[in-house]
Structure 1
Amino acid sequence: MKFQFVPELVKTDLEAVNQKEAITSLVTLLRKEGCVQDDYAGLVLEREQQYPTGLQTKGAAIAMPHAFDERIKDSHVAIGILKDAVSFHNMEDMEESLNVHIIFLLAVGQAHEQLEMLKILMGLFQEETMLQKMLATHSSQAICDMLNGYVQQQA
Structure 2
Amino acid sequence: VKGDFIAHILEREKQYPTGIDTSPISKDLPNVAIPHTEGEFVNTRMIVPIELVHPVKFHNMIEPDKELDVKFLFMILNNDPEGQANILAQIMDFLNSTPVEQLKQLFSSKSTSEIYEFLTKHF
Match among 106, 109, 120 for residue 137 of structure 1: 109
Which SS does the other structure have where 1:107 is aligned? strand
Q: Hey, what's the Cα distance between the residues in 2 that align with 1:139 and 1:103? A: 15
What amino acid is the match of 1:45? Answer: L
Tell me which of the two structures has the higher relative contact order, counting C-alpha pairs closer than 8 angstroms and 6 or more residues apart.
Answer: 1
Q: Which residue of structure 2 lines up, in the alignment, with residue 93 of structure 1?
A: 63
Offset of residue 43 of structure 1: 0.5
Give the alignment's Cα RMSD to 1 decimal: 1.6
Q: Which residue of structure 1 lines up, in the alignment, with residue 83 of structure 2?
A: 113
**TM-score of the superposed pair, with normalisation by structure 1:** 0.68
Q: Which residue of structure 2 lines up, in the alignment, with residue 43 of structure 1?
A: 8
What amino acid is the match of 2:118? Answer: M
Q: Hey, what's the Cα distance between the residues in 1 that align with 2:85 and 2:12? A: 17
Q: Hey, what's the Cα distance between the residues in 2 that align with 1:87 and 1:95? A: 12
**1:1-155 paired onto structure 2 within 5 Å:** 36-57=1-22, 58=25, 59-70=29-40, 72-126=42-96, 127=98, 128-151=100-123
Structure 2 residue runs without a partner (length 5+): none
User: Size of the alignment, in residue pairs?
Assistant: 116
Structure 1 residue runs without a partner (length 5+): 1-35
Offset of residue 73 of structure 1: 4.0
**TM-score of the superposed pair, with normalisation by structure 2:** 0.84
Q: Hey, what's the Cα distance between the residues in 1 that align with 2:62 and 2:41? A: 29
Report Cα offsets for 1:89-115 as digits up to 9, x if no partner: 101111111111111111111133223
Report Cα offsets for 1:117-152 as digits up to 9, x if no partner: 22321122112333321221111111111111123x
